[in-house]
Chains A and B, each alone.
Chain A
Amino acid sequence: MADLSINLAGIKSPNPFWLASAPPTNSGYQVQRAFEAGWGGAVWKTLGEPILNVSSRFAAVSFNGQRVAGFNNIELITDRPLEVNLKEIYETKKRFPDRALVASLMVEPKREKWHEIVKRVEDVGVDGLELNFGCPHGMAERGMGSASGQVPELVEKQTYWVKEVAQTPVIVKLTPNITDITATAEAAVQGGADAISMINTINSLMGVDLDTWNTIPHVAGKGAHGGYCGPAVKPIALNMVAECARHPRINVPISGMGGVSSWREAAEFMLMGATGVQVCTAVMHHGFRIIEDMIEGLNHYLDEKGIASVMDLVGKSVHKYSDWGNLDLNYKVAARINTDVCINCNKCYIACEDASHQCIDRLTDENGKEYLKVREDDCVGCNLCSIVCPVDGAIDMVEIPSEHPPMTWNERQAAIGALASCNVDVK
């Protein structure tokens, strides 16, 4: 059994799976049941001045039979008084001293407001603080959440105010509703953040009811944008984690989240630089006990790989992520159809013919049997045929050895530029 414990900026937990600040961490009852199930940590639902919520708050995208492929909410931060939350946080930490208990915080961008809440929350024994600069709905209209999180100067300033008084590690949670998340991540680091977490939810409108023409969800016939999360957002979140992880001036640990539904996504986030992950939608869909499979799956994966500690995964794929200009233009893959496995559904043929490079031929053998064959010389290796193929193993993408050494776009442009400026005698 591998060691699953992590240490994120000094916050220790027995495994890398934390509950994200969200409805599953609304109360002591819930968080304690989560810890009983095996969760390594929890970020308490955001504390601040208690809010008023609307009824009809959640909606989900179900796609081709996959329930909750994406999830949307317009629920705000805690609607309970701070004292109530603090009492339950204290009791929870006392019962589960080995788990990471982090308090998510959100107040107006005023120094005294941050000082007050930090001191009061730390008094009950939390292991760390997470500043919510990400919530995109409701609170943002009041200048908090993503409204703060989209302005690097506000991120830096508020992080600095928190660090003036904080005794525990400070995690800054970032919004994805920004062109370049590394700008705000760097601002958090400048402000003294001990770690960053991402992503919060993405601005979204789930749909329009075609009978009533109401938004989904709607509140008495009116809607407002919500925050999108769940499996559908994972690629977006993973890219943002990776972009921060490879940024030379963002040198703090990352808590990754956004579509983590199993141990697999957790391992991916950690390989791309996250020290641990946070989970919400999967728990809202399936309940706390998914943690059992997550722990078991991650353990098996590490054992199979011969890795003693999950911390040894952290960042191992970051160096493999770069800019497009650094990719090898001479690398080539081509599709190969295994006729023994292919069911001749023609999905690949249609995809290639209509949407790619027309390099699959429909042929007939000497027995009159139809089969599909790729003209490898014309195949650009786009992968589309293997993506749309419904049969595992029917199409392989195989590497075609290049007669030339690797050449990136950047190297190519440098060579052409050197010619133009006569920097090199090329005779």
Chain B
Amino acid sequence: MSYQEFLEERDQIDYLIQQGYYMKNVNENLSGAFVEFELKEPDLSGKKSFTETLHIKNADARKYFSSLLIQQMKQAQ
């Protein structure tokens, strides 16, 4: 189910954003997109790793993180 795949990957992206991560880098290849996230502020409790990488395969999810990335860059300006 394509839409189900989208929802699952979208939720993974949203979760990391909610946890205080931002998109640091995107690598795209034949397998899809590998989105590298980094914490905006280091987690002093040590529960969160400083970086996370999501493998985004679904096409709509790749559109989704791209829209968020543009939004993120606009907010940073």
Contacts and interface: CB of A to CB of B under 8 A. Distances in A.
B48 interface: no
Interface string B42-77: 000000000000000000000110110111110011
Contacts of A329: 63, 66
Given A330-B67, A407-B66, A419 B23 contact: yes
B2 A357 contact: yes
A87 B40 CA distance: 85
A110 interface: no
Interface string A383-427: 000000000000000000000110100011001101110001111
Contacts of A415: 66, 69-70, 73
Given A377-B3, A407-B63, A415-B70, A424 B77 contact: yes
B26 to A, nearest CB: 5
Given A330-B63, A425-B76, A419 B22 contact: no
Given A378-B2, A415-B66, A425-B76, A420 B25 contact: yes
Contacts of A418: 73
Contacts of A119: none
B62 to A, nearest CB: 9
A375 interface: yes
Contact of A404 (B24, B67, B72): B67
Given A357-B2, A378-B3, A407-B63, A416 B77 contact: no
Q: How large is the interface on B (under 10, 10 to 19, 20 to 34, 35 or more residues)?
A: 20 to 34
B3 A426 contact: no
Contacts of A419: 23-26, 69, 73
- Chain A at the B interface: mostly helix, strand, loop or mixed? loop
A378 B1 contact: yes
A407 B62 CA distance: 12
B61 to A, nearest CB: 12
A411 B73 CA distance: 12
The residue among B22, B28, B63 with the most chain A CB atoms within 10 A of its own CB is B63
Nearest to A418: B73
Interface string A302-329: 0000000000000000000000000001
A37 B69 CA distance: 62
Nearest to B69: A415
A321 to B, nearest CB: 23
A3 B2 CA distance: 53
A407 B40 contact: no
A329 B62 CA distance: 11
Given A404-B67, A407-B63, A416 B26 contact: yes
B76 A426 contact: yes
Nearest to B75: A426
A426 B63 contact: no
A330 B66 CA distance: 10
Among A411, A416, A418, chain B packs the most CB atoms within 10 A around the CB of A416
Given A418-B73, A424-B76, A426-B73, A407 B67 contact: yes
Nearest to A405: B67
Interface in B17-33: 22-26, 28
Contacts of B67: 330, 404-405, 407
- 10 closest Cβ contacts across the A-B interface? A404-B67, A377-B3, A412-B66, A416-B26, A426-B76, A378-B3, A415-B70, A415-B69, A329-B63, A407-B67
Interface of B: 1-3, 22-26, 28, 40, 63-64, 66-67, 69-73, 76-77
Given A424-B73, A426-B72, 18 more contacts: A378-B2, A378-B3, A404-B64, A405-B67, A407-B70, A411-B70, A412-B70, A415-B69, A415-B73, A416-B69, A419-B23, A419-B25, A419-B26, A419-B73, A424-B76, A425-B76, A426-B22, A426-B76
7 contacts: A329-B66, A412-B70, A416-B69, A419-B24, A419-B25, A419-B73, A424-B76
